[in-house]
Amino acid sequence: MIFAVFYSLHAAKHNFAYRRIDLAAMQIDPGKLISVHPTSPILVQRASIVAALSFVFFLAMLLTFYLRQQIGYFMLGSAFLIVHLATLAGIWLQKRNTVKLYENGLYCRQSFVAWKDISLARESAAAGLEIISTNGKKLIIPRSLFAFAVIADKVRSIAPTGN
């Protein structure tokens, strides 16, 4: 309860709830929506399996600690709980990585980049697809997205590529 109060005060101070960009209020018309690319379902499935197994082991360790009263089982249960919470946080944070391709640009992480504003697009094994706009803003699209090759092909066909 206390956490919810502090979070709501913090969110109100930093305006987290209203950070979504309204594409209709922008000067550039994004055009027709071509495709939406969320996190790859395979990666979400793997994370869900890890979260489920860690929760099962957490409950098993709590039951074992209750029966045997040894601190080692409590420590193992705590470790499984930390793994479970970290996995759930990772799943929740991956929702932000959705990329939407429009006729006139792309929308990623609360920012819209028009096709005409892309000055350079580089693909790297570590980062994914790095897009640099004409105003110097850098946008990195991770490889963990569904149909990443479609996004990379679309950006490469429009923007100049760098080595």
Q: H or E segment at 42?
A: helix 41-68
Q: Say if residue 132 is in the same domain as residue 154.
A: yes
* Tokens linked to 69: 């009263």
Q: Say if residue 122 is in the same domain as residue 111.
A: yes
Does residue 8 belong to any structural domain of this protein? no
Model confidence pLDDT, tens digit, residues 123-147:
887 778 888 888 888 888 888 889 8
Model confidence pLDDT, tens digit, residues 28-60:
678 888 889 898 899 999 999 999 999 999 999
Q: Say if residue 102 is in the same domain as residue 32.
A: yes
pTM for the full predicted model: 0.66
Give helix 71-94 / helix 41-68 axis angle, nearest 10°. 160
DSSP string, 57-100: HHHHHHHHHHHH--HHHHHHHHHHHHHHHHHHHHHHHHGGG-EE
Q: Determine the distance from the C-alpha atom of residue 92 to the mean position of all C-alpha atoms in its chain, rounded to a whole number.
A: 7
